[in-house]
Every structure is written in C-alpha cells, then in structure tokens.
Amino acid sequence: MEKPRFKDTGKGIYYFLDCVLVECPRCHRCAKIIGNPRKTHPKLVCEMCGLTRSKQSVSIGSEKYGEFILWLTTDCCGNTLWAYNKEHLDFLESYVSASLREHIPNINNNSLASRLPSWIKSAKNRESILKCILKLRQQLNFK
Ligand SMILES: [Zn+2]
C-alpha cells in the first residue's frame, strides 16, 4: 500500500480566505466572513441573526481573524489548533496524516505548509492533532 503523501504545492494562507468561519459577535453562533482580503473588503454575514458588517481589512495568521474569534479552534498539545474553514481543515489533515511530505522546490517559500509551527509538524503529536481535527470537524455541524 502506498504511504499517505502530502505534496506542498505552494498554497499560501490567502488561498483559504474566501470564506472564513467565525463566532458571530452578536449571537455567538457560526457566521461567515466572505471576501478574500487580498481582493476585496471582507464582509461579516451571520445567517443566524442577520448581522452584517463590512471590514476595511483583517489581520491574519492567528486564531483570531481581525477582532473575530475563529469558529474552528481547540486546545491541542498545549497549543491552539485553528482553521479558517473546512478546506483549511482538510489541508491540515492531509498534512498531519502524511508520513511523507514533499516540497516542490522554488514554488513558494511562503507556502502555508512550510510555515506551520513545529508542534504541528512533529510526528509525536500526530495522533493528538488528528483527534483535534476530528473534533473541529464536528464543530462544523454546530451552527
Ligand atoms: Zn449572529
């Protein structure tokens, strides 16, 4: 059987920012921030309570998205595991579960895979991280 492989094709963090799941600041249920900040002004839309809010910009690269708390966060291995949406979760799962990781050289030194923190890259954390990813997947069903 072939070993699970992960191929780093150079996807950067912006690849996952078309639609980000966050906690609605009004009703505390799952809202979306639609619009990739590289191309447009992102907009918060909550289908649960009807709140909408336009943003000039949002800061990225942590468990918060601008001032919003990401919907998909959980404590994991003494750190916080977070994801922007289902696609980001799929990406993390394929990275963590792969025993073979390939990096295509010269594509993108800024790829998300090359910038993941070392605790996510560590093989000893693999099982715990996969459990946390499963937990976050269940979180996708609570809205
Ligand atoms: Zn709401």
Three-state SS sequence of the chain: CCCCEEEECCCCHHHHCCEEEEECCCCCCEEEEECCCCCCCCEEECCCCCCEEECCCCCCCCCEECCEEECEEEEECCEEEEECCHHHHHHHHHHHHCCEEEECCCCCCCCCHHHCCHHHHCHHHHHHHHHHHHHHHHHCCCC
Q: How far apart are the first and last CA of the chain?
A: 38
Task: Tell me the domain boundaries of the chain.
Answer: 5-141
The 10s digit of each residue's pLDDT in 15-54 is 999 999 999 999 999 999 999 999 999 999 999 999 999 9
b/e map 60-93, b = 16+ CB within 10 Å: beeeebbebebbbbbebeeeebbbbbeebbebbb
Q: Could you tell me the distance, in angstroms and rounded to a whole number, from the CA of residue 28 to the centre of ligand 1?
A: 6
Mean pLDDT across the chain? 90
Q: Could you tell me the distance, in angstroms and rounded to a whole number, from the CA of residue 32 to the centre of ligand 1?
A: 10
Q: Could you tell me the distance, in angstroms and rounded to a whole number, from the CA of residue 40 to the centre of ligand 1?
A: 22
Q: Could you tell me the distance, in angstroms and rounded to a whole number, from the CA of residue 23 to the centre of ligand 1?
A: 8
Q: Could you tell me the distance, in angstroms and rounded to a whole number, from the CA of residue 131 to the centre of ligand 1?
A: 28
Q: Could you tell me the distance, in angstroms and rounded to a whole number, from the CA of residue 91 to the centre of ligand 1?
A: 27
Q: Could you tell me the distance, in angstroms and rounded to a whole number, from the CA of residue 88 to the centre of ligand 1?
A: 23
Prediction pTM value: 0.90
Where does the pLDDT of residue 110 fall: very low under 50, low under 70, confident under 90, or very high at 90 and above? confident
Q: What is the pLDDT of residue 107?
A: 59
Q: Could you tell me the distance, in angstroms and rounded to a whole number, from the CA of residue 31 to the centre of ligand 1?
A: 6
Q: Could you tell me the distance, in angstroms and rounded to a whole number, from the CA of residue 133 to the centre of ligand 1?
A: 25
Q: Which residues pair with 20 in a beta bridge?
A: 33
